[in-house]
Amino acid sequence: MERPGDYKCDALTRGRAHYLVKTGISQLYLLRLTVACSSLQVAGERLSYLLDVYFFTQEDIDMNSQVMRWPEKIRPIFEQSEAVCLTHTIFME
């Protein structure tokens, strides 16, 4: 007995549904990529404007350098934390 939510699909219908899902995902990816590129372009234009009209002090440059390099500095801390967790996991087993 069929329930209201059950649908019998032939191979062609399933293929079309699969195509639509894949196409939708591809289009969504392209849309996100387009938005990201547009955002980067706007950010680049704003940075260019700032470089033209604002005098950055050495303190400003140093602070920006610290902000931009935090992933490099935090990676060893994550690795050390992972090692400690692994050691405790092995110890507890």
C-alpha–C-alpha distance, residues 73 and 60, integer Å: 19
Alpha-carbon gap, residue 19 to 27, rounded angstroms: 12
Q: What is the separation of C-alpha 85 from the centre of its chain, rounded to a whole number of angstroms?
A: 26
Per-residue pLDDT tens over the stretch 6-30: 455 566 566 666 666 666 677 777 7
- Asked if 10 and 18 count as a contact pair (C-beta separation under 8 A), the reply is no
Higher-pLDDT residue of 68, 45: 45
Q: Where are the domains of the chain?
A: 8-54, 55-93
The CA angle 67-76-72, to the nearest 5 degrees, is 30
Tell me, yes or no, if the pTM score tops 0.85. no
- Measure the CA–CA gap between 80 and 86, rounded to whole angstroms: 10
